[in-house]
Each structure stands twice: as C-alpha cells, then as structure tokens.
Chain A
Amino acid sequence: MTETMREPTYFVLAALLDGRLHGYGIIKRATELSDGRVRITAGTLYGAIDRLIEQGLVAPDGEETVSGRLRRYYRITGEGERVVAEEAARLRAASEVVARRLHPAEAS
C-alpha cells in the first residue's frame, strides 16, 4: 500500500488487532481506541471493509443472527497486521519530527 492510509481504515485495522469483530463491534472498538474521536458510520465502515478484503488485509470470519439482525464477523490477516504496523511506524516517525523540535531535551 503506497498511498497514505485514511484514519477510519487505520482504526478499523487497529480494532481488529484484538480479535474478530462484527460491523458494529468494529465501530464501537474504533471509538474506544480513539477516545471517542473517530466515529465511523455504516457507509464508511463497509466501504473500508470491502476495500480491505479486496487488498487481503481483512477476511470475513463467520456470521450469526442476533435478535433478527445479521452480523458478519471480520478478522485481520497477517498481511493486514504487517500493513497496519508499517503505518503505525510511519505515524510514529512523523510525530517524532514535531516532538523533537518542540521539546529537544526530552526526545533523542
């Protein structure tokens, strides 16, 4: 993946690192992980999920029906873990650029 990963996509992958989740589970987990900052809507979620499945970063993992609502589960693939780790490293490097300049003593 050469292009920059969009934030909802990043948090979808991050949410799945803890194990398989269904659609709403991913939304809830992404909100928790971002301290309520990232609120993924259904349209955004399924747009991102289908793209991730296409790229082989996420795979469907079973389904169940709870009180009449269909829930499909998704899990992250090995390739997905690698890509999200890469993106995290990129973000860390980018944040350090600023941190080093604002607080030269602490960094290094």
Chain B
Amino acid sequence: MTPSERIYRAALAAYPRDYRAARGDEVLGTMLDATEARRLPDVREVGSVVADGYRRRVLASVTPPLGALRAGAAWAAFALAVLTAAVAVLGVMREDHLATSLPASLAPSLHVLGLAISPWFAAFAVTSIGALVALVASERRAAIAFALAGVAVQVWEVAFRPAAGFPGPTATSQRTPGRTSRRSRVSRGTGSSRASSSPPASPSRGRGACPGSACGSRRLVVSLVLVAGLALAMDHLYGAVAALGIVLLPLLAAAVALSPLDPRPALACVPLLVTALPLAWTYVHADPTTPAAGDLTVLAGILLGIVAFAVAGTTSAHRLRGGTPPQS
C-alpha cells in the first residue's frame, strides 16, 4: 500500500459506515486513478472526501420537521470549529503573559515561527474542535472524550499555576509595568471564578437535567466546552479575541444544541444568547480607561449566562419530556 493510498483510506473514515461499506472502494479507486501522476497525496482530494463524508453524516442524521434548521446548525458548528482553529492560530500570547503564567522550563518550547503560543489555548482549541466535530458527526463517545480532555487541560492549568490566584501586585508589574497590570488583575479574577464555578456546574447539569443518556451526554459536552472556553477566553485572551469568544461560544453552544444528535433542549441556548450578545457589545464598547466596570459587567454577564443556560436547559428538557422528573 502506497503512502497516498493509506492517507486516502484514512480519509474515507469521514463517511458514515454503511456508505463506506457500499461505496468506499469505488471512491478510493477514483481518488487513486485521479492522482496516479502525483508522488504525494493530493490535499484537495482528501479535503473533498472529508467534506462530502461530513455532509453525508449530517444528512443521515437529519429528520423533518426541524431538518433544515438542524442541518444549518450542523454546518454552523462546523464553521465555528474552523473559526476556533483560526482563533487558535491567532491566539498568540504576549511574551510578558507567557513569562508570568508558565514555568520557565515550558516556555522556550512554545515559540513557533517566532510567535509565543499558549499551550493551554492550543489544547483547548484542539479539544473543543474535536468535541464539536465528533458531536455533529454523531460520534458521541469521541465527543465526550474530547470534552473531558478539554476540562482536564483546564484543571491541569490551574494546578500548574498555583500562584495565579494570589500573586502580589509587584510580581507582575515588575516585568512589564503599565500594560500588564490590567491583564494580571483580570487573570486573577477569572482564575478564581473558573476554579470555583466550572467543576460543580457541569456535572450536576449533565446528570440532573436529562435522564436519557443521549441528552445528558450532549449537554455535558456543551457545558464543559462552554465553561472551559469562557474561562480560557477571559483568562488568556483579554481583549478583542475575548470579546469574540463571548460571542462565539454561545453561538457554538446553540449550534451544538441544535445539532442532529438530539434537538430537544435547543431552547436552552436562547437565554444565553440574549444575555451574551448585549454583553459582548458592552464589552467591545467599554471605556478602556475605566476597565473595572467593564470587567465586572463581563464577569456578571458570563455567570448569568451560564446560570440561564443551566436553568433553561433543565426546564426545557423537562417540558419536552412531558414533565418527567429526572432520575439521578
């Protein structure tokens, strides 16, 4: 088997199982015929097969009457995953933040192409993209694995940076006086709120709200990705990208909730969107000379959003299930 054939075969995994069984050999033959003159595998061929496979998976899981809506949501999730990847690429950390937040032994290895990249952000991007794509592709176990890995990364980061919650004001301002002070104060605030809010919020919501395994697992993934993402966006990317994250993550949650796996608690995201969009606007238009008010608004909004998400998810799931109480 040539290297090209091996890569093309791997790309066929994007197709749903039954389609792959029926047509996989034919598609592979055509790919090999079409690229016979090439020494290296053709990226366009691989990309087209992966996209077609994803499309078929989405179509296979879409049923009326919400079919078109859910198919659109699935594509939104896919687009957001791509967007997250772009943000990850742009998620370049300022040198001073990296130096204050990481052990010295880790820092040198993180300089890629002259850019200092946060490993935590990269890990979050990979895990959230993985969770999202797996979720839409109905690979539920893979989605849960990715989401748990994302949370593990966040927990690890907190453990790795024990001083983040209580650094003396001089510790950071010594390195880069001026601009760092604002960031470091924010990091501290969100660092502690993340540590306290994320572990209790996610599992209780995943277990309590949905007795069914499909519903529970999907909502668990959504809430884990959401909480990890919000915490990380606030902590690491304070600035324009954080504002993007505040807009992006609720949309992401909405897209996932509407995804083909199970549409029922889709309404759960509406309050979050309602909360987050004005919040993002406030944040973007906040007066930079008085950051304290902006920070508080953002934090309050995020917490409110998470609570609204949890409450609405629970109630809408109950209502849609005919008021059956959760069995825990």
Q: Which residues of B are found within 8 Å of A41, using beta-carbon distances?
A: 34, 42, 44-45, 47-49
A70 at the interface (CB under 8 A from B): yes
Identify which of B25-33, B257-265, B278-286 touches chain A.
B25-33
The residue in chain B whose Cβ has the minimal distance to the Cβ of A23 is B30
A12 at the interface (CB under 8 A from B): no
**B52 near A27 (CB under 8 angstroms)?**
no
Q: What distance in Å separates the Cβ of A21 from its nearest Cβ neighbour in chain B? A: 11
CA distance A63 to B25 in the complex (A): 12
Q: How large is the interface on B (under 10, 10 to 19, 20 to 34, 35 or more residues)?
A: 20 to 34
Interface size on A, residues (CB 8 A): 17
A71 at the interface (CB under 8 A from B): yes
Identify which of A43-51, A75-83, A100-108 touches chain B.
A43-51
A24 at the interface (CB under 8 A from B): yes
**B48 near A43 (CB under 8 angstroms)?**
yes
CA distance A2 to B269 in the complex (A): 35
Knowing A23-B33, A24-B34, A43-B52, say if A71 contacts B26 (CB, 8 Å): yes
The residue in chain A whose Cβ has the minimal distance to the Cβ of B53 is A43
B134 at the interface (CB under 8 A from A): no
> In the complex, which of the residues B27, B29, B30 has the most CB atoms of chain A within 10 Å of its own CB atom?
B30
**B52 near A24 (CB under 8 angstroms)?**
no
Q: Which residues of B are found within 8 Å of A42, using beta-carbon distances?
A: 27, 30-31, 34, 45, 48-49
Q: What 0/1 readout, one digit per residue, does chain A (56-96) give for beta carbons within 8 Å of chain B?
A: 00000001000001111000000000000000000000000
> In the complex, which of the residues A23, A42, A47 has the most CB atoms of chain B within 10 Å of its own CB atom?
A42
Q: Which residues of B are found within 8 Å of A22, using beta-carbon distances?
A: 30
Knowing A23-B26, A41-B44, A41-B45, say if A69 contacts B52 (CB, 8 Å): no
**B23 near A46 (CB under 8 angstroms)?**
yes
